[in-house]
């Protein structure tokens, strides 16, 4: 089983703060890295899928970067809002793998 780690496990920020968290994954045999946003009582929704080293993706105030050589991805949220409160999951797919391996998530709480 592949090791995909997310840090921090949880995070509390004030409304308006910018924040970021990390996903670490194996640096060899890379195929794709996914980010999902999971709100309480809902199902996970895709934010980004990144496949190339150096990829940067952006959706509104949320952006992500990818470093496949060192095995990490950062997710950034600019000017956090209470509606950004959710668990953010990353998932790694190795080239030879038929499945995604998920990290345990970063739980973000944005305080008004």
Partner 1 sequence: EAQVTQNPRYLITVTGKKLTVTCSQNMNHEYMSWYRQDPGLGLRQIYYSMNVEVTDKGDVPEGYKVSRKEKRNFPLILESPSPNQTSLYFCASSLGRAVPLYFGPGTRLTVT
Q: Does 71 bind partner 1 (CB under 8 A)?
A: no
Among 66, 105, 108, 110, binds partner 1 (CB under 8 A): 105
Interactions with partner 1, residue window 4-23 (CB under 8 A): 4
Q: Does 93 bind partner 1 (CB under 8 A)?
A: yes
**Regarding beta strands 106-111 and 56-59, do their DSSP bridges make them parallel or antiparallel, or are they unpaired?**
unpaired
Binding site for partner 1 (CB under 8 A): 1, 4, 31-32, 34, 36, 42-46, 49, 51, 89, 91, 93, 98-105
């Amino acid at each position: 089983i592949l090791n995909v780690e997310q840090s921090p496990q949880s995070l509390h920020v004030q409304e308006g703060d910018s924040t970021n968290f990390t996903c670490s994954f194996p640096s060899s045999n890379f195929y794709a890295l996914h980010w999902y946003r999971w709100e309480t009582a809902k199902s996970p929704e895709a934010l980004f899928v990144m496949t190339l080293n150096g990829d940067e993706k952006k959706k509104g105030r949320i952006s992500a970067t990818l470093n496949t050589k060192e095995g990490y991805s950062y997710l950034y949220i600019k000017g956090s809002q209470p509606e950004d409160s959710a668990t953010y999951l990353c998932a790694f797919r190795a080239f030879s793998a038929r499945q995604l391996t998920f990290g345990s998530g970063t739980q973000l709480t944005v305080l008004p």
